[in-house]
Amino acid sequence: MVASVVVAHPHPCLEATLEALAAQDYPHLTHVFFVVDAPGGATSDPRIDATIAAITAVLPGAIVRNVVGNPGYGPTQNEAARMVEGDNGLFLFLHDDVALAPNAVSAMVAEMGVSNAALVGPKLVDWDDPSLLQHVGLGVDRSGEVDPVVLPGERDQEQHDAVGDVFCVPSACMLVRADVFRRVGGFSSEIDFGGEEIDLCWRLHLTGGRVMVVPSAVARHRERFTERNAEVELATLRERHRVQTVLAGTASSRFALIVALLVGLSVVEAIVGVFSRRSKRALVALAAVFGTLVRFGSLRRRREKVQSLRVVSDAEIHDLQVQGSARVVSFLRARRARADAKRLENRIAAAEREKRARTTIAVFAFLGAVFVVGARRLVVDGVTFVGQFVPFTESWRSLGAAYRLGWWPGGFGSATPAPTGTALVGVATFFSLGNPAVVRTIAVVGLGVVGVLGMWWFGRDVTQSARARAGGTLAYAMVPLHYEAVATGRWSVLAAYATVPWVLLAFSRANDVLTATAADVLRRALRLGLVVGAVAAFEASFIPVMVVAAIAYMLATAVCTGVRSLRGLPGVVAGSVVVGLLLNFPWIGHYVRSDWWSLVVGADPGVGRNEGILRVLSFDSGRAAFAPAILVLYGVAAVAVVVARDARFVWAVRGAILAAVFAALAVAADSRLFGFPLPETGVLLAFAAGGLALGVIALLDALENDVRGARFGWRQPLAALAALAVLVPVIPLAVNAADGRWNQPRSSLDTLLLQLAKNPDEGDYRILYLGHPDLLPAAPRTLAAEGDLRLGYAVTDDGIATLFTQWSPQQTSTVRTLENALSHLVSGDTPRVGRLVAPLGVRYVVVPRIDGARSTRNRPVAVPEGLVQALRVQLDLRRQYESADLLIYENTAWVPTVAQLSVAGAQASTTAGMDELVLADLRGATPAKVGFVPGRATQRLEVEPGVVNVAVPPSPRWTLSIDGSRLASRPAFGATTGFDIPDTVAPGSRATLRYDRPLLQVAFVVAQFAMWCFALFIAFGLRLRHRRPLPVRIEQGDDTPLTFGIESRGIESR
């Protein structure tokens, strides 16, 4: 018999393993050891030499081979079969953390002979506590799911001590007949780690071999593979290999059925997994199914190989398998066991556990109720158009079309790539079955929930205490950031709130990599980069904010535990920034400009909001009631720093630093300390909220571990008081949820703006919004004016603002013309601003004053009254509507967006100066198209001889086709696109306005799509291709073949 042990990653248990082998009472045992490289090690690694020395010290006759790299368990063990000649022997395959009882081998050999089994395995018990069962064989169902048979923590009371057939035994220790092993081809060379035993046993069953467990043979097994090899995601690999084994081992007649079963189970599991945190596993399985099917050739070869072994039908194999779902069976068994355990367990411990569970359930029940109550009217009545919450009216097709076209329709439009966010919203709309309003409502209602769940998840990395996690989750939910964002219509803040816990989780995981390899850093960077890229697609300032958060986090970590403890975090953060930027390419190129910072942080109003430190620290945007109650959490975070010890102290410091740094930045933004704009206060405060929640977790954790039971002193009352203080903001949270809309106003500017008709008969038009950037319903730009305050402006097409207007438009000649005109407006240079903006299609000038959210009657946001004065004396602007909320002027000199110009207009269109426009009366133009859709490649017009003006920036890619002949465009008024229609064209002729998409844009779209797919697949382990198995290369040793001992040969005949 040859006992083959793969030794990897030396650990303290190896000595016990060796001694156990040495102590076996089975006499003819040849020992072969394969020593594989430790992670990050090299062949000259002294640890390998130490390992070899340890083996030879205990087992002097052992054959030791050093394997270069780590090709995997199965492929390495196959080398033993290669090294040993003959079929009349046995192979004992062992992990290096299995300590056999002295009689284990002989017991297994004996049973193998008695039962004529092909493969047997021992009863595996816990390494540290042998009274705990680990495995007595494994059950497997048709889909390859494993039923572990024993329950976690199940004590050995001889309840599983009957020898019996099992489908599979763990690869930790298996005794297999050499002839059978060779016949089935040994372990699969395509399985490196995870699932090799199922694959081997399945093939054995196909040949009619028996697999049995021999409980009289006992082995201790440490089974902490992932601790020793963090690089390998064992769970993921098991899923993938399970699917491959099933697909290869199933008969052809049942192949389609099993594929459908695997897909169906994965989909169901993915849906269930959303609630039970197991969605990743299901996605991996799903990807494995498709990935295996896609590689049809490989699958076919493998199936041919496996099916050629078949001597028994699938039906017979199914009789050996677990009926139904192994997972359900094990779940039900575990549930029964838990119920039993509950009755049996120590009464005090059970009470304590129940108490903790009650806390968690109470917190989640409360939060669930609060979120349901707080958002009920938003769901039923719909989300009000306030702030950035413009109605989502675009279909996924129109979003996709605009994204592909390479013409960004925001503002006046521009020949540049569309923001990545449009594509993401388009995808979301697609999956909402084409209902964009549902996407909007789900996003508004759900982002807050995502943030809260993220904090719960993040808490797992911080503490084992469910109570502390629940407290932190509650604290994060209580911070009035998310519902203030809902009330004031801030997507950016909501997105930041939802993302921050996940970013902190990524920081934590990146920081905890024991040995950060390049692959590790890449994968984690991709994950974080995906999150960052997705948020940056809507709020570009999130990237620098996240970088600052990472620096604060690293600073806190370095101060507490030293610089070396940072490990992979800097690399992960840097990588995530690169990934985030790449995922937004080419749109992100929009920011490569000298004034990139102002583009990143949004329109700069020139002054701070000056709300005051208390309002800022209270996360109060003006809608929340009792917001100052949240201030107690700052005190809690401070107390956490004082009372916490060890790891809790590190977390408390991280939380406090995050809270303080971002609170300071938010205050600085509010007071405009630096003289330049900072990202939106709410985005900054999202990390402060994360820091406060972290502080609460640290405090509650410290209360359980550092304070309770310690010698009585000032820490106990202080910590207890702080813990009680955590509950103070519960009341404001409940109060603010009461109205069912999170205080969002029921009506806002949109109801007033409905008077501005969409696609009226007199022609399409544009609306120019002027005023404080906070109040504009579209992404604003700002214009430097006298004094500190900058004038914000935004342009939308007729009707109310759309999703397309939510990204700041590009600087184009049209935008420059508008800005020139506005400069003249605010400096009082001309009373004819109406004429200056007439060719741009600007019909209405709207000055919002009070939106009911960020600007209320009690606390109005500054409205530039001088601007109102300037508008009032304009000679072409007719006051359409004026109230305390809103001011609307109609530009009587306007020209429709797509217009057939009057004779005077046609003449003026050939000039390009403000001077000419001031004196030119362009009235008399008629619409050449009603219902112009920006972002659509082709549109039908009705033209007549003269000049057609399209109020979009000039681009040679715009053409007009009339009766098959194409007219090139020309710049009109120096700012728009004009077409000279020849006199030969009959009045009322149909023409086609076309924008030719650049080929480069197609390449960009494809590249960006590929990048997102690549990032998703890599980040979540959804590899389309398997890792190619490493070849087994043995570095040293002679080639003299081994033979089995004579004692083994008789087994087969017995």
Altogether, the residues listed in the chain come to a count of 1054
Least gap, CB of 893 to another protein (angstroms): 9
Calpha distance 699→695 (Å, rounded): 6
User: Among 115, 360, 435, 561, which residue sits at the site for another protein (rule: CB under 8 A)?
Assistant: 561
Q: Which is nearer to another protein, 16 or 555 (CB)?
A: 555
User: Among 378, 600, 617, 943, which residue sits at the site for another protein (rule: CB under 8 A)?
Assistant: 617
3-class DSSP string for 111-128? HHHHHCCCEEEEEEEECC
User: Among 14, 232, 556, 693, which residue sits at the site for another protein (rule: CB under 8 A)?
Assistant: 556
Element (H, E) at 281: helix 279-294
User: Among 323, 747, 827, 907, which residue sits at the site for another protein (rule: CB under 8 A)?
Assistant: 827
User: Among 560, 625, 930, 1016, which residue sits at the site for another protein (rule: CB under 8 A)?
Assistant: 560
Binding flag, residue 555, another protein (CB under 8 A) = yes
839 burial (CB, 10 Å; 0-12 / 13-18 / 19+) is buried
Least gap, CB of 516 to another protein (angstroms): 22
Contact 974, 932 (CB under 8 A): no
Binding flag, residue 1019, another protein (CB under 8 A) = no
Of residues 946 through 975, those in contact with another protein by CB under 8 A are none
Q: Which is nearer to another protein, 633 or 657 (CB)?
A: 657
User: Among 420, 830, 949, 1001, which residue sits at the site for another protein (rule: CB under 8 A)?
Assistant: 830
Contact 568, 523 (CB under 8 A): no
Calpha distance 863→159 (Å, rounded): 80
Neighbouring-strand partners of residue 487: none
Least gap, CB of 786 to another protein (angstroms): 6
- How many other β-carbons are positioned within 10 Å of the β-carbon of residue 224? 12
Rounded to the nearest 10°, the torsion over CA 808, 812, 814, 816 is 90
Least gap, CB of 758 to another protein (angstroms): 24
Element (H, E) at 627: none
Least gap, CB of 608 to another protein (angstroms): 7
Q: Which is nearer to another protein, 49 or 646 (CB)?
A: 646
Neighbouring-strand partners of residue 155: 132
Calpha distance 382→830 (Å, rounded): 44
- How many other β-carbons are positioned within 10 Å of the β-carbon of residue 108? 29
Binding flag, residue 873, another protein (CB under 8 A) = yes
Nearest 5°: the CA angle 332, 335, 336 is 90
Binding flag, residue 673, another protein (CB under 8 A) = yes
Calpha distance 764→797 (Å, rounded): 8
Least gap, CB of 753 to another protein (angstroms): 20
Of residues 149 through 208, those in contact with another protein by CB under 8 A are none
Contact 429, 400 (CB under 8 A): no
Of residues 594 through 613, those in contact with another protein by CB under 8 A are 607-608, 610, 612-613
Least gap, CB of 830 to another protein (angstroms): 4
987 burial (CB, 10 Å; 0-12 / 13-18 / 19+) is exposed
Least gap, CB of 908 to another protein (angstroms): 13
Least gap, CB of 501 to another protein (angstroms): 21
Least gap, CB of 783 to another protein (angstroms): 9
How many residues bind another protein (CB under 8 A)? The answer is 73
CB neighbours of 179 closer than 8 A, spacing ≥ 6? Answer: 87, 88, 1052
Contacts 24+ apart (CB under 8 A), 999-1003: 1000/406, 1001/404, 1001/405, 1001/406, 1001/417, 1002/404
Of residues 902 through 941, those in contact with another protein by CB under 8 A are 914-915, 918-919
Binding flag, residue 876, another protein (CB under 8 A) = yes
Q: Which is nearer to another protein, 132 or 642 (CB)?
A: 642
Tell me which stretch binds another protein (CB under 8 A): 95-103, 166-174, 286-294, 830-838: 830-838
In the chain the first and final C-alpha atoms are separated, in Å, by 16
Binding flag, residue 788, another protein (CB under 8 A) = yes
Q: Which is nearer to another protein, 648 or 766 (CB)?
A: 648
Tell me which stretch binds another protein (CB under 8 A): 24-32, 552-560, 754-762, 1033-1041: 552-560
Of residues 692 through 751, those in contact with another protein by CB under 8 A are none
User: Among 39, 86, 544, 831, which residue sits at the site for another protein (rule: CB under 8 A)?
Assistant: 831
1000 burial (CB, 10 Å; 0-12 / 13-18 / 19+) is exposed
User: Among 300, 342, 758, 879, which residue sits at the site for another protein (rule: CB under 8 A)?
Assistant: 879
Burial annotation 478-512 (CB, 10 A radius, 16+ → b, else e): bbbbbbbbbbbbbbbbbbbbbbbbbbbbbbbbbbe
Least gap, CB of 826 to another protein (angstroms): 5
Q: Which is nearer to another protein, 142 or 824 (CB)?
A: 824
Q: Which is nearer to another protein, 439 or 657 (CB)?
A: 657
Binding flag, residue 869, another protein (CB under 8 A) = yes
Asked if the bond preceding 953 is cis, omega within 30° of 0, the reply is no
Give me 789's structure tokens. 């305050």
Q: Which is nearer to another protein, 423 or 870 (CB)?
A: 870
Q: Where are the beta strands (DSSP E) in 734-869?
A: 766-771, 781-783, 791-797, 842-848
Of residues 21 through 80, those in contact with another protein by CB under 8 A are none
User: Among 795, 870, 991, 1015, which residue sits at the site for another protein (rule: CB under 8 A)?
Assistant: 870
Of residues 637 through 666, those in contact with another protein by CB under 8 A are 638, 641-642, 645-646, 649-650, 653, 656-657, 660-661, 663-665
